[in-house]
Structure formats: C-alpha cells, structure tokens
Chains A and B, each alone.
Chain A
Amino acid sequence: MQSALDPAGVEAQAVYWLFWICVIGGAIIWVGVMAVLFYAGRGGREAISQKAGQRIILIGGVLFPTVVLAALLSYALWLMPTVRPVTAQANSRLTLDVTSEQFWWRIAYPPEGDLPGFETANEIRLPLGERVGFRLHAADVIHSFWVPALGGKMDMIPGRTNFLSLEATRPGLYRAPCAEFCGTSHAVMGLTVVVMEQSAFDAWRKAQAQLQPVAAASGTAPRPATGNGPVVAADQTDRGQDGLAIFQRHGCAACHALRGTTAQGKIGPDLTRLGERATLAAGALPNTQEALAAFIRNPQKAKPGALMPAFPMIPPEELATLADYLRASP
C-alpha cells in the first residue's frame, strides 16, 4: 500500500526502473571489483610491469568510472522530464491545492463547470489515467508530500508554493507519509490517496461539490429538537440532528466544517463524509466508531502534539452518538 517498489503511476514507474538499474549495475560492479581484489590477492605471483600497472589504472580507475558515471548521469537526466513532467503539468485539467499542517493535510478541489469547489482533508481522490497537478503549501513548518506508489516527493515549505503532478495508472488505495520531520506526530501524519475509475471519480466529486456550507441565517432550515438551537440543513435525519446538536453544543464547529450544515470551522480538518475515508486522524487510526470516540476524548494519545484539545467532558452516550453521526454524515 505504501511502497515505491510497487508502482501505480507513471513517475513511480520511472523511479522504479532507475532503482533497479542502479541496484543491479552496482551489484555487477561490486562483484567485478571483488573478483579483481581476489585475483590481485593471490599469493606467489610475479609483480606486473609498470606499464601494465599504469594501463590498469587508466582503464579501471579513469575510463571505466567516467563512462559509467556519464551513462548514469545521462539516464537520470533523460528521466527527469518523466519524473517531473513540467510541460504536461501545465496542461493538467485538474489541479489540487494541498496544504500541510501539524499533523494533517488540507485538500482543496477547484470548481469545474457548474460544480463549485470544495475542501476536504487527509484523503485525496484521483481519477485513473489522468494527469493531476498539485500546488503544495505548508501552513506552519516544512513538510513533504510523497505518494511512493505514484511518484517522487516534493517538499512543502511555508510561504512558498511548490508544484508536482502525478498520473495514476492503477486503481487502488495508497498511503502517503509526510516525508519531512515536522514535529512529535510526524510519524502518524499520513495521507490516503484513492485512485478511482473516471466515472466513479466524477460521481464522488459531484456528490462532494453539492455539499456546500449552509448559511446560519438561512430561514428555510428547521431548528433541531434538541440542543441550543443551531440551524441545520433540511435533509438531516433525527439521529443526525442529535449528532449535529452535540457537535454544535461542544463547540466542534469552531474548528471543523461539516459541509451541508452550518458548521464551517476552518482551523481543523473538514469532517464532511468522514465515514467514507479509509482512516481517521490522518492515518493515525482505523475508521471505526470506537477509535473516533477515543480520539475525541483524548486526541493526544493517538497524535501527540496535535492542536485539538481533549473532550473528556462529553458523556459516553453522547460521544457514541456523535461518533456515529460523523461517520454516517451526511
């Protein structure tokens, strides 16, 4: 799932071949050097002439390394347009903005045609066989974006935008680690990349884009039966209203957004359609009700150094309802 040796993208394929050519070439040269060493180390041999010695140095020490290095350098340079497809990138139809924060990923899909843009977190969905561009940003410290199965890595630097583009060649679910130490939870800052068939991707994107934040002043939405009366979208189920009321009452919406409701917090990850994501807390936990409840109760346990405060005051039954609601929403 997270391996550069199991490539599922055009760039990763190029890196894969580069790796094996270097490994095999290195092994052959090593064996050759060892063979010469053993040959030279045999006892009882006559000293070779100075002229022969100079010839060995010239061929083995100058010509051979020069030719090998020139070949390797040319191969690597020749690969560069494939590994970093600068011109193809400019023509990619879809370009995402990915912002890394301690310790999660903010992902923005742009508007397309009638579809408005939307923001999501910690999981990127990509269409199969289409080149997708990435504008990479960092909100706090240096992070690095790396989907080993799809391509090479690119640093994310505060105050700077870096570019990358990837083309996936095989559908599947791939893990991407943050590849630059960024703090205490660096090791549990993971990103899930889901490569989907074009039609499935289009349907997913449409469903996501249709969920837009609901204005709090909207007069058409009904008031929920419980809670302190936040306005919610009309399509919430009773249970959902319960969960949403709990979400609002405990102040979750100050940091988190649930598109399709009035919750529009921008500080933490967007939680819309959390249930469809492969993992919780940027790859730190499995996406289960128990894990989500435990994370809300004490986020520091799974993600030391995370900015989210602990919520031990939420009663267990409310916590279970909230976790169910978030995983089922919308």
Chain B
Amino acid sequence: MRSFIPREIETLWTLFTAPVVWAFHFVVCYVVMAIACAKGSGSIEGLMGLRLFLGGFTLFCLLLIVGSAYLAWRQWGFGTDTPPHDAPTRQERQLFQGFATLLLSGLSFISVVFVALPLLFIPACMP
C-alpha cells in the first residue's frame, strides 16, 4: 500500500494539483454541456446520460482532490504542528507548503461540488 503513495518531494506542483483538477472539471462540465445543448440533445431524456457521466467524472475529480489533500496533510505532519510556520528553516517551509496545499484542496473540493450542483437540479437545456 505504502508504495502507491508518492515519496515526499519538495516541489510546488503538489500545491497546484487540487486547483488544476478544479479548473479541468469546470472546463469539462461547461464545454460538454454547451456542446450537447448546441447540438440539440438537450431534452430531459437526452441529457440524463450526460448528467450521470458528469456525476461520475465529478466523483473522480473529488477523489483526486482528496488524494492531494492527504499528501498535503502528510507534508504538514498530520497537524502535529500549528501555523503560521514562519521561521526561516527548511522544515517550516515544508510545513507551510503542506498547510497551504491542504487549504487549497479544501477550497477546490467545495468548488468542484458547487460547479456540479446544477447537475442535480436542472434537467434540461434552456431553449
């Protein structure tokens, strides 16, 4: 199990993971829906499959964000130390980055849920 989880490395990429997933999810949802509606498959029945697909895609994106949050939590030392982590040391820098990544993951998680909420409530395209 341990081997599946990436080794701790010092890179800014871990910081960006969750927001990038959020952006990707946003673009996919809007573009896919826009194309489906423009092509006229926007009836309630026609849209059901697409809503289910995007619902599944949303769950996948949320899993990626949870994974990113777990890595960030680990980098933050599982919360054993308290912020603001502002001492000029390598250790504090790591903790700060981990904490910032964790917060960004939380924001991205909520945002992905909010972007996906219309799937639950709006059954058809606007004419």
Interface of A toward B, CB cutoff 8 Å: 50, 54, 62, 66, 69-70, 73-74, 77-78, 80-81, 84, 86-87, 89-90, 163
Give the nearest-CB partner of B103 in chain A: A62
B100 to chain A, nearest CB (A): 15
Please tell me if B3 contacts chain A, counting CB pairs below 8 Å.
no
With a cutoff of 8 Å between Cβ atoms, the chain B residues found around residue A77 in the complex are: 117-118, 120-122
15 contacts between A and B (CB under 8 A): A50-B82, A66-B110, A70-B110, A70-B113, A70-B117, A73-B117, A74-B117, A74-B120, A80-B122, A81-B122, A86-B127, A87-B123, A87-B124, A89-B127, A163-B126
Please tell me if B125 contacts chain A, counting CB pairs below 8 Å.
yes
Please tell me if B4 contacts chain A, counting CB pairs below 8 Å.
no
| Cα distance A209–B5 in the bound complex, in angstroms | 76
With a cutoff of 8 Å between Cβ atoms, the chain A residues found around residue B106 in the complex are: 62
Give the nearest-CB partner of A51 in chain B: B82
Interface of B toward A, CB cutoff 8 Å: 44, 82, 106, 110, 113-114, 117-118, 120-127
| Cα distance A96–B106 in the bound complex, in angstroms | 48
Give the nearest-CB partner of A76 in chain B: B121
Q: Is the interface of A mostly helix, strand, loop or mixed?
A: helix
A218 to chain B, nearest CB (A): 41
* Cβ-defined contact, B121 with A80, below 8 A: yes
* Cβ-defined contact, B127 with A163, below 8 A: yes
A323 to chain B, nearest CB (A): 42
Give the nearest-CB partner of A79 in chain B: B121
B59 to chain A, nearest CB (A): 17
With a cutoff of 8 Å between Cβ atoms, the chain B residues found around residue A54 in the complex are: 82
* Cβ-defined contact, A81 with B117, below 8 A: no
* Cβ-defined contact, B121 with A87, below 8 A: no
| Cα distance A62–B110 in the bound complex, in angstroms | 11
With a cutoff of 8 Å between Cβ atoms, the chain A residues found around residue B125 in the complex are: 86
* Cβ-defined contact, B126 with A86, below 8 A: yes
Give the nearest-CB partner of B124 in chain A: A86
Task: State the 8 A-B residue pairs at the shortest beta-carbon distance, nearest first.
Answer: A77-B121, A163-B127, A86-B124, A78-B121, A77-B118, A80-B122, A66-B110, A77-B117
| Cα distance A272–B24 in the bound complex, in angstroms | 57
With a cutoff of 8 Å between Cβ atoms, the chain B residues found around residue A163 in the complex are: 126-127
Q: Given A70-B114, A81-B122, 20 more contacts at CB 8 Å?
A: A62-B106, A69-B114, A70-B110, A70-B113, A73-B117, A74-B117, A74-B120, A77-B120, A78-B121, A81-B123, A86-B123, A86-B124, A86-B125, A86-B126, A86-B127, A87-B44, A87-B123, A87-B124, A89-B127, A163-B127
Give the nearest-CB partner of B44 in chain A: A87
Q: A50-B82, A87-B44 are in contact. Are A74 and B123 (CB under 8 A)?
A: no
Give the nearest-CB partner of A65 in chain B: B110
A256 to chain B, nearest CB (A): 33
| Cα distance A78–B113 in the bound complex, in angstroms | 15
A180 to chain B, nearest CB (A): 18
| Cα distance A89–B127 in the bound complex, in angstroms | 10
A94 to chain B, nearest CB (A): 16
Question: Which among A50, A81, A86, A87 has the greatest number of chain B C-beta atoms within 10 A?
Answer: A86
With a cutoff of 8 Å between Cβ atoms, the chain B residues found around residue A78 in the complex are: 121
With a cutoff of 8 Å between Cβ atoms, the chain B residues found around residue A84 in the complex are: 126
With a cutoff of 8 Å between Cβ atoms, the chain A residues found around residue B123 in the complex are: 81, 86-87
With a cutoff of 8 Å between Cβ atoms, the chain A residues found around residue B121 in the complex are: 74, 77-78, 80-81
With a cutoff of 8 Å between Cβ atoms, the chain A residues found around residue B124 in the complex are: 86-87
| Cα distance A62–B106 in the bound complex, in angstroms | 10
Give the nearest-CB partner of A90 in chain B: B127
| Cα distance A50–B126 in the bound complex, in angstroms | 50
With a cutoff of 8 Å between Cβ atoms, the chain B residues found around residue A89 in the complex are: 127
| Cα distance A50–B84 in the bound complex, in angstroms | 11
